[in-house]
Structure 1
Amino acid sequence: MSATILGSAERGYEAVAEAFAKAFDGRPAMGAALHIVRDGHTVVDLWGGVADARTGRLWGQYTPSVVFSCTKGLVSILAARLVQEGRLDYTVPVSQYWPEFAAAGKAAVTVGQALAHQAGLSAPRADLSEDDIVDWERVTAALAAQEPLWPLGTGYAYHALTHGWIAGEIIRRVTGMSVGQYFSNLIANPLGVDAWIGLPAAQADRVAHLQVSPPLSALWADEASKPAPNWPYKAMTLGNALPADLVSDNGGFNTQRIRAAEIPGAGGIASAEALATIWSATVVPTRGIKLLEPPVIAEATKVQSEGASVFGGEPPYSRWGYGFQLDSPARRYLDDQCFGHDGAGGQVGFADPRRRIGFGFVTNWMMGPEDQRATEIISALRASV
């Protein structure tokens, strides 16, 4: 039985709507939404499926969901805005803003290197617990004290979760606000969108319940069987803090305790409409808000990290600027000028400066490398514009 797709797509975007509907084929427990903004105007607004398979609650127009590493893209917008305002510099040491970070040989690590996954802190050396990761000061103190996992300047490795605490603490030191507070003040509240880094309790019952597809679970089970230290695996679990899938039926990012904590490497909660609106506002005035100007976008999206990481891995490889995920064989956008970030399980948000587009796709049916849902939607969009 196919999911009922609600919403609308403007004329010329029929193929995009068809690709979105196709994403539900063979996935009866899936819920998802797609939102596309062009020139500040919504051209695609679609949703369907099940927000919570346990209760049968359907996905609504503004259903929020955990967007995982899409949160890194949102935090990178915050950092770029501070650069634009002259309050932050990608080229200076992190320790200029956060003196404790200079410990254990990290005095020379720059803000840009930290944002580009080059700081050597992709995983904690000491195992963290769930109690640890909901305590901001405890995690940031541990990262500040830690010796890097590899020598500075010798490569990069994806900081799957630690990236958010590092970037977020830099932002806190500059602004005097937590990353969640700054995000709300600068972006979510002015744009009037359903997006949070640190979910308020009043919103808890609206969030989609996440499920993990069998191939993704099998992938992480295989990773778990590899000999220690398996730093890429530990980058996801942080030791004992999270399941490798990031969720279980009643654990990880399916719990309000984790969602309420400010975990800016993966814990953002947003609707597809929110993601698309935010990314639109980075490149074109949207709802009266323009977040970034072309010079800072050009600086922030220069390639900093690409190819194989210091821990190896198989292609296709991603490519990053200063926190922003760029077009690459691992994540195709509309062209090489686009910037954004995808997230575990299939989430995608990005901006296209040339076509003045903001894009958001969110789903609660988490898939692994076999996932082509967003890729096919983006391909249809590319052909339509």
Structure 2
Amino acid sequence: MGTTPNFVAPGFEGVASAFFETIPEGRRAGAALSVWKDGAAVVSLAAGTADGGNSPFRNDTLIPVASVTKGLASLVIGRLVELGRMPSYDTEIGEFWPEFAAHGKGKLSIGDVLAHRAGLSAPREALPKSVYLDSIATADVLAAQEPLWTPGEGHQYHNITHGALTAKLAFLATGRSLGSLFAEEIAGPLSADAWIGLPEEYDTRVATMVPDPLPPAPAMSVPNSYWLERAVNLGSGVGFPNLVESADGRRAEMPGVNGFATAEAVAKIYSAAVVPTEGVRLLSDAAVDDVRKPRSKGEPVFGGQPPYQAFGAGVMVPSHWDPYLTEYSFGHDGALGQVAFADPYFKVGFAYFTNQAGDWERGKSVTTALWRDLN
């Protein structure tokens, strides 16, 4: 397929300048930026390289978007709720998913589960590959598990397990996989290049991830570090590189961690969540309010250093971690520095994706420039 040429609409020059400042010296890596305003693209930029040296980073380059996938999966759930295909966020999870009620978890609301409050941020038993690549199997293990803290009393980021829980909720509601629902309900109507479970024919478009050139920060000893580590490796040594670089990892539908998309696709999706975009509106204003309603904030159960994240029904909402554009914004960041969100006040969809591992300050700097251009 052809690639969209770089363009910047008048009035968004500050955004473009901020974007190009994020491209590494020597252009060993690259990035793409897409901004939609009032249902139309106003910025489409790509620069640097997609493979650490030779191939240019293009607007149709696919990026492993990591936890940005959680936000996309949450839009699927939000749509199912709005259409009445699954119960409201306030429904007790035990009514909808009886097996989840084991060990006192049944009184949690569906919204609590989506907001990282279920006490299931990590599995107590190591998950073999055959289980962790199967989101429904993982969810079944978690449903039977004793929670790691009193359910509902505090939150802790469910790095990978969140995707299994959303997958099971979608399956109970429809009998279908979340990846297929995402393709049909979200990406398909917008012709958006985004997948949860990447078809093999798109492998050649995936950028090579470039390690962070800076030395890693010294490891810090924090309480409950065992559970923090286990939330990432599931007790089986699984890591983000395994999930996005291996064939079986790419094919698996893991809605918390292994989405693949272009910046344009995700920005367009978030645009359509808050304003008609190419004839599509994914959520009503009322449904947007339900999705972004703050449900978890402040210090998580297992501690860590601020700034802390805040969550709605599976999406990240503004916090000291990332203020996004306004108090009404919602979306999700992803490992390696990916930033994506919608803003219903400005009617904006935004995505900054990079293959240069590192922090989120790059995407945040572009968001800050967008705020200035809009004001």
Query: Which bracket does the TM-score occupy, shorter chain normalised?
Result: over 0.9
CA distance in 2 between counterparts of 1:29 and 1:99 reads: 51
Aligned to 1:61: 59
Name which of 266, 288, 295 aligns with 2:257.
Answer: 266
Check 1:304–1:227 CA distance in 2 against 1; reply closer, same or farther (3 A cut): closer
CA positional deviation for 1:158: 0.6
CA distance in 2 between counterparts of 1:27 and 1:266 reads: 29
Shifted more, 358-367 versus 97-106: the winner is 97-106
Tell me the SS of whatever aligns to 2:151.
coil
Q: Which has the larger share of strand?
A: 1
Check 1:334–1:228 CA distance in 2 against 1; reply closer, same or farther (3 A cut): closer
CA positional deviation for 1:120: 0.2
CA positional deviation for 1:222: 2.0
CA positional deviation for 1:314: 1.1
Kindly provide the amino acid, as one letter, of the partner of residue 384 in structure 1.
D
Cα deviation code 1:22-64 (max 9, x no counterpart): 00143632121000011111100000111112x7222122111
Name which of 278, 286, 293 aligns with 2:277.
Answer: 286
Q: How many residues align?
A: 370
Aligned to 1:140: 139
Unaligned stretches of 5+ in structure 2? none
Alignment of 1:336 onto 2:333: no
CA positional deviation for 1:159: 0.6
Matched ranges for 1:158-173 at <5 A: 158-173=157-172
Matched ranges for 1:95-174 at <5 A: 95-174=94-173
Normalising by structure 1, what TM-score?
A: 0.91
Matched ranges for 1:8-19 at <5 A: 8-19=7-18
Check 1:361–1:27 CA distance in 2 against 1; reply closer, same or farther (3 A cut): farther
CA distance in 1 between counterparts of 2:141 and 2:171 reads: 16
Alignment of 1:363 onto 2:344: no
CA positional deviation for 1:180: 0.2
CA positional deviation for 1:14: 0.8
The answer (yes or no) to whether the contact 1:129–1:241 under 8 Å persists in 2 is no
Matched ranges for 1:320-331 at <5 A: 320-331=311-322
CA distance in 1 between counterparts of 2:58 and 2:247 reads: 20
CA distance in 1 between counterparts of 2:201 and 2:319 reads: 38
Check 1:227–1:328 CA distance in 2 against 1; reply closer, same or farther (3 A cut): closer
Shifted more, 229-238 versus 28-37: the winner is 229-238
CA distance in 1 between counterparts of 2:167 and 2:133 reads: 14
Aligned to 1:34: 33
Kindly provide the amino acid, as one letter, of the partner of residue 270 in structure 2.
W
Kindly provide the amino acid, as one letter, of the partner of residue 85 in structure 1.
L
The answer (yes or no) to whether the contact 2:136–2:167 under 8 Å persists in 1 is no
The answer (yes or no) to whether the contact 1:133–1:241 under 8 Å persists in 2 is no
Aligned to 1:235: 231
CA distance in 2 between counterparts of 1:229 and 1:378 reads: 32
Shifted more, 296-305 versus 127-136: the winner is 127-136
CA positional deviation for 1:132: 2.7
The answer (yes or no) to whether the contact 1:140–1:169 under 8 Å persists in 2 is yes
The answer (yes or no) to whether the contact 1:94–1:170 under 8 Å persists in 2 is no
Unaligned stretches of 5+ in structure 1? 1-5
CA positional deviation for 1:381: 0.3
Cα deviation code 1:257-282 (max 9, x no counterpart): 21110010011111000010000000
Check 1:227–1:156 CA distance in 2 against 1; reply closer, same or farther (3 A cut): closer
Aligned to 2:76: 78
Aligned to 2:248: 257
The answer (yes or no) to whether the contact 1:7–1:47 under 8 Å persists in 2 is yes
